[in-house]
């Protein structure tokens, strides 16, 4: 969450795009490129007809004389271009909620949801997930009762702090809603 006098930006963490799967794929790609690079040097040393050296890049990377050297060069260049583009795409894909006082708008990503004055209150509720752990949900109630889920989490203190920070920025109240008690009807037999 970043806050300035005119804008509050809530950027939710990425939904797993740049975690261990992405890092494992990056390391696997780097390993494959390393193997191709080593094979290009071995191919150069074992070529009997030209005895080209590693110090001559025009022969080392020539596609007709050393296929592995050419593949290594192309794959290295593609990796150095593709990895930053991937990181930028993942960073942009993170969901961001923006409360802007200057424009008097509430945005979800690039979509305008409503004007700030249409936000009635923030609602924090407690529910149980399928594993019977308490899950805290923070919602924005706007435009005559419409609700939008902002964030959910298992840490009550974190959710309260987030709700209070957004509520103080907007000047709205935070309402706490307890889950409805489950009713068990006993029948006589």
pLDDT tens-digit series, residues 120-132: 999 999 998 888 8
15 found inside a domain = no
- Confirm whether 188 is domain-assigned: no
Last residue of a domain, one of 48, 67, 93: 93
pTM exceeds 0.75, yes or no: no
| Most confident segment among 2-6, 14-18, 120-124 | 120-124
Looking at the structure, tell me whether residues 108 and 86 fall in a common domain: no
Q: Tell whether 7 is covered by a domain.
A: no
Same domain flag for 127 and 74: no
Q: Are 141 and 118 members of one domain? A: yes
185 found inside a domain? no
In a domain, residue 182? The reply is: no
Q: Is residue 148 situated within a structural domain?
A: yes
77 and 134 share one domain: no
Mean pLDDT on 22-46: 80
Under a CB-based contact definition with an 8 Å cutoff, are residues 59 and 76 in contact?
no
- Residue 169: domain span: 104-177
153-188 exposure pattern, b = at least 16 Cβ within 10 A, e = fewer: eeeeeebeebbeebbebbebebeeeeeeeeeeeeee
Predicted confidence (pLDDT) per residue in 88-128, tens digit: 777 777 788 999 999 999 999 889 999 999 999 999 999 98
Number of domains observed in the structure of the chain: 2
Residue 56 lies in a domain: yes
Helix, strand, or coil (residue 88)? helix
Within-domain flag for 49: yes
128: closest CA among 183, 184, 182, 185? 182
């Amino acid at each position: 969450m970043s806050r300035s006098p005119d804008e509050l930006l809530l950027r939710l963490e990425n939904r797993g795009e740049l975690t261990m799967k992405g890092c494992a794929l990056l390391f696997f790609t780097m390993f494959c490129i390393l193997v191709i690079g080593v094979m290009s040097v071995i191919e150069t040393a074992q070529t009997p007809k030209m005895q080209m050296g590693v110090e001559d890049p025009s022969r080392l990377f020539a596609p007709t004389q050393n296929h592995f050297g050419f593949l290594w060069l192309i794959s290295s260049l593609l990796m150095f271009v593709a990895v930053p583009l991937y990181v930028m795409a993942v960073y942009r894909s993170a969901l961001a909620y923006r409360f802007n006082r200057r424009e008097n708008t509430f945005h979800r990503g690039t979509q305008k949801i409503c004007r700030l004055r249409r936000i009635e209150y923030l609602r924090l509720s407690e529910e149980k997930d399928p594993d019977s752990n308490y899950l805290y949900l923070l919602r924005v109630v706007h435009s005559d009762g419409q609700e939008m889920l902002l964030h959910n989490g298992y840490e009550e203190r974190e959710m309260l702090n987030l709700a209070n920070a957004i509520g103080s920025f907007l000047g709205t109240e935070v309402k706490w809603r307890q889950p409805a008690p489950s009713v068990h009807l006993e029948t006589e037999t």
